[in-house]
Amino acid sequence: MTTTKIAFIGAGSVVFTQGLLTDLFAFPDLRDLHIALHDIDPERLATAEGAARHIADRAGAAPYVTVSAHADRRAALAGADFVINIVQVGMGASTRTDFDVPAAFGVRQTIGDTLGVGGIFRALRTFPLLKELGADIAELCPDAWLLNYTNPMAMNVQYLTAATGLTRVVGLCHSVYWTLRDLSALLDVPYQEVTYRAAGVNHQAWMLRFEHNGTDLYPRLDELIASDPQLRRRVRVDMYRRLGYYPTETSEHSSEYVPWYLHHDSEIERLRLPVGAYLGIVEENVALYEKARDALAAGTPLDVEATMEYAPQIIHSITTGTPRTVYGNVPNRGLIENLPASGTVEVPCLVDASGVQPTRIGALPAQCAALNRTYLSMNDLVVRAALEDDPRAVRQAAMTDPATAAALPVERIWELCDAMVRAHGDLLQPSLRATDLL
């Protein structure tokens, strides 16, 4: 039997790596795997390797799994069938910069990884790595599927396809899945019996169909919301009531992509928005990593649960020919006809032995497409800034971003971008390090 090689790029994100491996090793018909781990941090790489061996042994998969660890990315990629990208360029220090510098200008963020000033600069410091990764894949494993988890998802997938020429690229996120799990639990309906369809852009897709045994579940959701004042104190519920379609991301995320909430103290209180919440998540992730590292050193079992992420499901379907549907972020190219063709959209995708095949949706409801177009316009400017070495496009992207534009006059937006460029320094491509452009 042919060995399937799966390269993990950024494997030092140990908690995420552990969950993906737990999912992979749970498939009884997925055998003869080579897990090639790469990270630039030696300690994190060693921890990821120890965790992978531990999880394989606990799952009874050790006889069928080879684990290798590589400081050299190219060694991990050579001959890979699948590449899972989970890098975070700059790690926690850069994330704190993404929050602290905008906060000094009066810009509030909750997660800061998709749109807004945080999303822009997370993208710009990730693009150089993505360009190198794409070139390595084209040379060393040109037939591999690149499964990207790194945010900002839509910008990264658009940049990858434009800058590298790779065609087997899919961005993966769990927001659609967990939205449906949570809605099903809220309405006390078994998730396995729910029929649904969602589409839009990552972190701002829309539940277009939501049924149980052929019956529309939206009226039941409406009744529950009307009877529960606490439910109405959530951004995504507020957006649903006004737009008519439930968004597929948390209220914390959703609040950052529109101009209506974070700029207003009254809305922060009404909708219980946790400004700066992601910094706490970063600290929790560090603590979880240290716990895993220490447990491996002490020889104690790791506490790892299955994650139901899409990457293991895609690998299983392509490898075994088992058909299933997942939600993927892919170049639009007519899949959603009232969104830009060059943008990255999130749609259902059929996966089987022939690969990942996106579904054509047609047109979104006009009000949903209007918000998505603003999102994709901002993304396009960030990608163009990198592709065309245009630092002014970075400022124009921030001007286009709804939440940033609601918080600052245009002069301060340019000053904020200058401050972010200085703060991130050498992590940006040289052509984008210019400041004082007026």
In CATH, what number is assigned to the domain containing residue 146? 3.40.50.720
> Residue 27's pLDDT is what?
94
Residue 265 counted as domain residue: no
Residue 7 has pLDDT above 80, yes or no: yes
**C-alpha distance from residue 183 to each of 188, 227, 324 (Å):** 8, 16, 22
Residue 76 counted as domain residue: yes
In sequence order, what DSSP letters do the residues of 353-377 get, joined into one string?
TTEEEEPP-BPPPHHHHHHHHHHHH
- Residue 262 and residue 108 in contact, taking contact as beta carbons nearer than 8 Å: yes
On the 0-12 / 13-18 / 19+ scale of CB atoms within 10 A, 265 is exposed
How confident is the model over 263-285, as pLDDT tens digits?
A: 999 999 999 999 988 888 888 88
Q: Taking residues 15-43, what's their average pLDDT?
A: 93
> Residue 305's pLDDT is what?
80
**Minimum mean pLDDT range among 105-109, 196-200, 295-299, 352-356:** 295-299
Residue 113 has pLDDT above 70, yes or no: yes
> Residue 34's pLDDT is what?
97
In sequence order, what DSSP letters do the residues of 74-87 get, joined into one string?
HHHHTT-SEEEE--
Q: How many residues does the chain have?
A: 438
What's the domain count of the chain?
1
- Residue 304 and residue 342 in contact, taking contact as beta carbons nearer than 8 Å: no
- Residue 340 and residue 347 in contact, taking contact as beta carbons nearer than 8 Å: no
**What is the largest distance, in Å, between two alpha-carbon atoms of the chain?**
63
Please give the span between the terminal C-alpha atoms of the chain, in angstroms, as a whole number: 62
Residue 191 counted as domain residue: no
Paired tokens of 62: 């050790």
Higher per-residue confidence, 319 vs 16:
319
> Residue 244's pLDDT is what?
97
Paired tokens of 385: 């800034």
Q: Taking residues 48-55, what's their average pLDDT?
A: 93
In sequence order, what DSSP letters do the residues of 156-181 get, joined into one string?
HHHHHHHHH----EEE--SHHHHHHH
> Residue 175's pLDDT is what?
94
At 351, the pLDDT band (50, 70, 90 cuts) reads very high
Q: Dihedrals φ, ψ of 61, to 5°?
A: -100, -5
At 303, the pLDDT band (50, 70, 90 cuts) reads confident
Paired tokens of 358: 């996106």
> Residue 276's pLDDT is what?
87
Start-end of H helices in 26-166 = 42-58, 73-77, 91-104, 116-140, 153-164
Q: Which amino acid is at 144?
A: A
Residue 109 counted as domain residue: yes
Q: Taking residues 101-128, what's their average pLDDT?
A: 96
> Residue 285's pLDDT is what?
83
Question: What is the Cα–Cα distance from 344 to 360, expressed in whole angstroms?
Answer: 13
> Residue 12's pLDDT is what?
86
Q: Which amino acid is at 266?
A: S
> Residue 289's pLDDT is what?
81
Cα dihedral sign, 116-119-125-127: negative
At 300, the pLDDT band (50, 70, 90 cuts) reads confident
Q: Taking residues 379-385, what's their average pLDDT?
A: 98
Residue 295 has pLDDT above 90, yes or no: no
What dihedral do alpha carbons 436, 99, 201, 398 form, nearest 10°?
Answer: -20
- Residue 140 and residue 77 in contact, taking contact as beta carbons nearer than 8 Å: yes
**Minimum mean pLDDT range among 30-39, 52-61, 101-110, 130-139:** 52-61
Residue 172 has pLDDT above 90, yes or no: yes
Residue numbers of the domain that contains 42: 4-171+300-305
Q: Taking residues 34-49, what's their average pLDDT?
A: 95
At 404, the pLDDT band (50, 70, 90 cuts) reads very high
Residue 316 has pLDDT above 70, yes or no: yes
At 1, the pLDDT band (50, 70, 90 cuts) reads low
* In the chain, % of residues over pLDDT 70: 100
> Residue 169's pLDDT is what?
98
pTM metric for this prediction: 0.95
Which residues neighbour 320 within 8 Å (Cβ) at sequence distance 6 or greater?
Answer: 27, 29, 30, 353
Mean pLDDT of all residues belonging to the chain = 95
Q: Which of 34, 54, 70, 174 is catalytic?
A: 174
Cα angle at 261 between 405 and 424, to 5 degrees?
50
> Residue 11's pLDDT is what?
93
Q: Taking residues 77-95, what's their average pLDDT?
A: 94
Residue whose entry in the numeric block shows the structure tokens 């950024």: 10
In DSSP terms, 211 is beta-bridged to 195, 216
Q: Taking residues 159-170, what's their average pLDDT?
A: 95
Paired tokens of 17: 């790596």
Residue 195 counted as domain residue: no
Cα angle at 376 between 204 and 404, to 5 degrees?
80
70 annotated active-site? no
**67: three-class secondary structure by DSSP:** strand
Question: What is the Cα–Cα distance from 239 to 247, expressed in whole angstroms?
Answer: 7
Residue 401 counted as domain residue: no
Residue 18 counted as domain residue: yes
Residue 40 counted as domain residue: yes
